[in-house]
Amino acid sequence: MADLDVLIIGGGITGLTQTVALADAGFAVACVDPQPAEPAAAETLDGRTTALLQGSVTLLDRLGVWDHVRPAAAALRVMRIVDESGRPRDRPLTARFDSRDLGGGPFGYNVPNAALRRALLARLHTMANGQHLAGRSAEAIRFDARRSAVDLSDGTTLTAHLIVGADGKHSPTRESAGLSARRWGYGQTAMAFSIAHTRPHDNVSVEFHRSSGPFVLVPLPGNESSVVWVERDRAASRFLEMDDAAFRRAVQARTRGVVGTVSAVGRRWNYPAMSLLAERYAGHRVALVGEAAHATPPIGAQGLNLGMTDVAVLTETLVDARASGMDIGTEAVLRGYERARRTDVLARVAAIDGLNWAVMSKLPPVQVLRHLGLSVVDRVGRVKTELMRRGMAPLGARPALMAPAPGTSDGSPTES
């Protein structure tokens, strides 16, 4: 039986980042990860990418991870919204958001999840007080007065002052702690894959809004982009059953030629588009981060970035508690983390949920209001700039691990 400061359940990007952040802060920490340890397996585990906003990039940079990720990343300098819902195909409404209007670097970077996983594992393996328990899962979790205990699938038992659930929407940690969650769907499926194309993307991300769901092109290095294509469930099933040639033609039609000819399409992943909100993010000796606490449809690059903010805030909360001589697993400490995150999470989940329903709606009054709002945003510079600022940073105080360095406007690492 091993005794730890913190045990993280779940080895996705959020869970691994939380493990590295706490180990970097001097805590004895381990991550229980059902996935295999071999970095070479990362490509087959997850072929998706993540658009990391600058706060998340700053966090990874301060943890000594970003330099290993940067070669696989593409800068996101411009975002275009093309609203085709309720519009003639040849007359969509558009809005263009340029990161130069904020006076700093790009909005962020698009990074393959596999590259993120490899870099986080490489950093974790250099840390004497951080362990990666690969190929194992939590079979039972018990929360006692002074410790929590976790029985693993290999027959061992670990104890810790605090359990952090980073185990996704169906979090066993959340269920074991008796923390309830509301979840709702949209009758949509998200399909994720990468494409090669003939025209340069010029570091412009394009988000097509259609009544069936968004179709998003996000730059990758070279003439490649990642795609998230959201469709109604029945239609998505038909697309996923297509052979490669037919699917490529369907993708080509939906790009509207903005990246030229789609010459190749990579492996397809799919998952339900849904939202989730845990009623509480923390309890006695337990805290939730990432999709164990909240989830959104893939709109506006908010999902993993919300989880990365969770990581930074929880780390800061635990460091402050330790400095004050407090038990890091007590509800009094962990409620501070919950209070610091709730407003930001609620606001972003509500905004994305409302936008998704508004785009799906075929009611003329809803369409008129949405079109009017997008036109105002695109034409009024101050409104556009404020919207970009609010989208880039959490509401309330920014955690220290994500705050801009002195003398910079956005905290972005120096570009190569």
Mean pLDDT in residue range 176-204: 94
User: What's the pLDDT score for residue 408?
Assistant: 54
pLDDT above 90 coverage of the chain, percent: 65
Residue 31, in any domain of the structure: yes
Indicate whether 220 and 113 sit together in one domain.
no
User: CB-side exposure of 376: number of CA atoms within 13 Å?
Assistant: 9
Spell out a b/e string for 244-272, using b for 16 or more CB atoms within 10 Å of the CB, else e: eeebbeebbebbeeebeebeebeebebeb
Mean pLDDT in residue range 40-55: 74
Q: Per-residue pLDDT for 90 more than 60? A: yes
Mean pLDDT in residue range 38-58: 75
User: pLDDT by residue (tens digit) across 64-84?
Assistant: 999 999 999 999 999 888 887
User: What's the pLDDT score for residue 104?
Assistant: 73
Indicate whether 266 and 348 sit together in one domain.
no
Q: Per-residue pLDDT for 43 more than 70? A: no
User: pLDDT by residue (tens digit) across 277-334?
Assistant: 999 999 999 999 999 999 998 876 677 899 999 999 999 999 999 999 999 999 999 9
Indicate whether 193 and 215 sit together in one domain.
yes
Residue 115, in any domain of the structure: yes
Residue 88, in any domain of the structure: no
Question: Which residue, 245, 273, 301, sits at the end of a domain?
Answer: 273
Indicate whether 283 and 162 sit together in one domain.
yes
C-alpha distances (whole Å) from 224 to each of 53, 59, 272 are: 20, 26, 25
Q: In sequence order, what are the beta bridge partners of 15?
A: none
Contact of 177 with 283, CB cutoff 8 Å: yes
Q: For tokens 């006692």, name the residue.
A: 144
Q: Which contiguous run of DSSP H or E holds residue 323? A: helix 303-323
CB atoms within 10 A of CB 229: 25
Higher model confidence: residue 104 or residue 144? 144
Mean pLDDT in residue range 41-47: 57
Q: For tokens 């556009």, name the residue.
A: 384
Q: Per-residue pLDDT for 224 more than 60? A: yes
User: What's the pLDDT score for residue 256?
Assistant: 93
Indicate whether 179 and 192 sit together in one domain.
no
Indicate whether 29 and 155 sit together in one domain.
yes
- The domain that contains 393 carries what CATH number? 3.50.50.60
Query: For the chain, how many structural domains are there in total?
Result: 2
Question: Which residue, 273, 308, 338, sits at the end of a domain?
Answer: 273
Question: Which residue, 257, 273, 289, sits at the end of a domain?
Answer: 273
Virtual torsion, Cα 351, 357, 361, 363, nearest 10 deg? -60
Residue 87, in any domain of the structure: no
CB neighbour list of residue 378: distance below 8 Å, 6 or more residues apart: 93, 94, 95, 96, 384
Indicate whether 159 and 190 sit together in one domain.
no
Residue 82, in any domain of the structure: no
User: What's the pLDDT score for residue 310?
Assistant: 96
- The domain that contains 221 carries what CATH number? 3.30.9.10
Residue 415, in any domain of the structure: no
Q: In sequence order, what are the beta bridge partners of 204?
A: 78
Choose among 43, 48, 114, 42: nearest CA to 269.
Answer: 48
The model carries a pTM of 0.89
Q: Per-residue pLDDT for 1 more than 50? A: no
pLDDT category, 128, cuts 50, 70, 90? very high
Contact of 285 with 6, CB cutoff 8 Å: no
User: What's the pLDDT score for residue 379?
Assistant: 63
pLDDT category, 414, cuts 50, 70, 90? very low
pLDDT above 70 coverage of the chain, percent: 83
Indicate whether 216 and 297 sit together in one domain.
no
Higher model confidence: residue 365 or residue 77? 77
Residue 233, in any domain of the structure: yes
Indicate whether 295 and 335 sit together in one domain.
yes
pLDDT category, 240, cuts 50, 70, 90? very high
Residue 96, in any domain of the structure: no
Looking at every residue in the chain, the average pLDDT score rounds to: 87
Indicate whether 168 and 284 sit together in one domain.
yes
Range of the domain at 258: 186-273
Higher model confidence: residue 156 or residue 92? 156
Indicate whether 56 and 171 sit together in one domain.
yes
Q: Per-residue pLDDT for 411 more than 80? A: no
C-alpha span between 67 and 391 (Å, rounded): 25
pLDDT category, 416, cuts 50, 70, 90? very low
Helix (H, G, I), strand (E, B) or coil at 113: helix
Indicate whether 261 and 204 sit together in one domain.
yes
